[in-house]
Amino acid sequence: MSLRLIDTIANFVAEVIVRRPIVLIAILAVSTLLAALVLAKHTTFDSDILNLLPTGESAVQGLRDYERGFTQSNELAFVLVWPEGVGSAEEHDDFREEFSTQLLAQPWVLRVLSAQPLAGGGAGREIVLPLLLNLPPEEFQEALKKLEPPAMEERISRLAGEVAAGSPRALFELENDPLGLGTSALKPLW
């Protein structure tokens, strides 16, 4: 580039800056607008790891359902499921105990809740009925509506569909509170 061309460009820029500040501001505004448009059109960064997985997979849908239902990022849930007829109930319990023991041995595990909240020794289910009977009258009537056959059929079929899609939350609800009465009874405690 010749010295004369550089001198001409420098004089032009100096003149625009000193004598035509409105033109300079307009050029800067247009440049900023164009830069913003380019960034908005071409930015495809996605921090959600589930968006990187195949959307048609039932396991991915199950993870999405789990993410919506269990939002605490410092918790990790394992759902142990055995095919029908594989092993006895005692073998399943032994495996659950061993699995829990192995988890507790890991340095990153703070605590393990290996029993289902409303299952097991019956202690959880024993408190559901008194809590249900102590609900305010309007909430008790709402809970009773869940016992009507159409409402029960709708809930069970919805949960079964979600379980078929791979939802661990729906599986938990179907096994522990298929009618939703436990949820209604425990609502005042939450």
More confident residue, 72 or 64: 64
User: CA 120, CA 101: separation in Å to the nearest integer?
Assistant: 18
User: Residue 97: what pLDDT?
Assistant: 85
User: CA 179, CA 151: separation in Å to the nearest integer?
Assistant: 9
User: Residue 46: what pLDDT?
Assistant: 61
| Interacting residues of 139 by C-beta distance below 8 A, sequence separation 6+ | 184, 187
At 129-146, the pLDDT tens digits run 777 777 888 888 888 888
Flag whether the pTM goes above 0.75.
no
Mean pLDDT confidence for 171-179? 81
- Give the pLDDT band (50/70/90) at residue 114: low
% of the chain with per-residue pLDDT over 70? 79
Supply the DSSP string of 11-34, one letter for each residue: HHHHHHHHH-HHHHHHHHHHHHHH
